[in-house]
Structure 1
């Protein structure tokens, strides 16, 4: 008996998005990191604070509609992957939206399985 081994691997490239937003203001964050054709792009938030961790906000798979995580759906939306970029819209920013936002991508590569 051999355990199943995945036939792909994950590569992520994180890029911080540098934007200052005033409370109550809406903004679009844009990212263009796409390097391959088999791609998933992600938006992460790193809240302010010493013990913070990356939180997944949204993801978009090439050729499908973007998905925003449930806790962000009321005011956040994400575009589909368009060309080499993806956009995150934050409507009416609140103080608790503060943090660093990161864009990441993953690609699958088949290993001859």
Structure 2
């Protein structure tokens, strides 16, 4: 399907839908769900209950952790394995590092 623009060009339906998704924030919500799903898969149920994905900025995923002991354990013993799992779960997303932050929720 095409929509005629004022200058005579035709716009693809996929372009129109892409603009609609962006303007409504739906793409960001979908991205967020994808990131949270990848973290849940990589972390597993035990870690998931005490962690929460905050954001991915410039290839670094920031994860909130309920306590300092777990934060230290994740950074020292699980980081490499988690990064490998996350990269596999999110092809096309550049993920260079994991940062853990102490938080309570």
TM-score under structure 1 length normalisation: 0.29
Structure with a larger share of its residues in strand? 1
Q: Which has the larger radius of gyration?
A: 2
Structure with a larger share of its residues in helix? 2
Larger relative contact order (C-alpha < 8 A, sep ≥ 6)?
A: 1
